[in-house]
Amino acid sequence: MAIAGFLIRRILTGIVVVWLVSTGAFFLFFARPVATVARQLAGHAATPQVIAEVIRNLGLDQPIMVQYWHFLDNLVHGNLGYSYFTQEPVNTMLKQDLPPTISVVVGGVIIWLVVGIGVGIISATRPRSWFDRVSNILVLVGLSMPVFVIGELLILVVFLPLNRHGITWINTGYAGISQGIGVWMGHMILPWITLAAVYAAVYTRLTRGQLLDTLGEDYIRTARAKGLSERRVTFRHGVRAALTPVVSQLGVDVGQLLGGVVVVESVFGLGGLGQTSVQAIYTDNLPVIIGFVIVAAAFVVIANIIVDLTYALLDPRVRIT
């Protein structure tokens, strides 16, 4: 019952958050001169009469609050409108572009968590060892290299040599999971590594620092004095407490990934929400922009709900109330 009540409250809060974000995006883009969009649609040589006709057809000549009411009514019914330039429903565009983006995000998150937390734990339990020193160097390399450089290096060093030798399992572009898990993973492995490289470095440093601090706490020394094995002290008491700020950082990073994943999508030609949103911004395609903003807000809400649930699992002092 406690979990059900928690989820209901968080979902209601999330609905309010999405409404506020979508309202802010609506007034930011629609409460301004609309001649620019109409001129792009009609062409730069269009007459004022043609531009006025385009504005009227789009409904942009109506009072702003009337447009806002129509926007809310459509949003409640799950209708995000139509692209100004292709007349394609925004819902359809999101359904087509979400799979590549979600594939990159989910796979990248799993890899950087496994690598980052794993290397961080080993470095913290063996400070100043050769493993710790090498991992620190690799962390600095990962933090220093831009994402697009890592992606291009993987294409140059991994994809092209394998392709020349007839090994086509690892590929670029996007292949849906419906084509087979092996094919899907082959197309996604390089984007996953590219996205995970920088974040794994961040999580390695964060996990190492938090675990070193935690292992110096009084209750850890008490656990050792009771005769508990070092392995149990480290994982049962140390790692569990040290992961709390790591989970907090994960909630922030996952929520912001939609904006950063566009580079990975561009390097590997995946399509996805990132490229579509950039094109929409360049062309002032307002319905598509607002659709992207709403999806990004939903990502943030879902990520924070998962983070709150994970807190309760990691720290028994946290209660879901």
Q: pTM for the whole thing?
A: 0.79
pLDDT in tens, 172-223: 788 878 888 888 888 889 899 988 888 888 899 889 888 888 888 888 888 8
What pLDDT score does 92 carry? 87
pLDDT in tens, 74-112: 888 888 888 877 778 888 888 888 888 888 888 888 998
What pLDDT score does 86 carry? 78
Q: Which domains does the chain have, with CATH numbers?
A: 2-90 (no CATH), 95-314 (1.10.3720.10)
Cα torsion for 193, 270, 178, 307, to the nearest 10°? 50
The pLDDT averaged over each successive group of 10 residues in the chain (321 residues) is 74 88 83 62 66 71 82 85 81 86 88 90 88 86 82 86 80 82 87 88 89 84 81 81 82 72 82 79 80 84 80 62 55
Task: Please give the Cα distance from 276 to 293 (Å, whole number).
Answer: 12
Close Cβ partners of 104 (under 8 Å, ≥ 6 residues apart): 188, 191, 192, 195, 261, 264, 265, 270, 272
What pLDDT score does 42 carry? 61
Alpha carbons within 13 A on the beta-carbon side of 275 = 16
What pLDDT score does 151 carry? 85
DSSP state of 166: T
Most distant CA pair in the chain, distance: 86
What pLDDT score does 5 carry? 75
What pLDDT score does 46 carry? 64
* C-alpha dihedral sign at 235, 241, 245, 251: positive
Task: Please give the Cα distance from 204 to 143 (Å, whole number).
Answer: 11
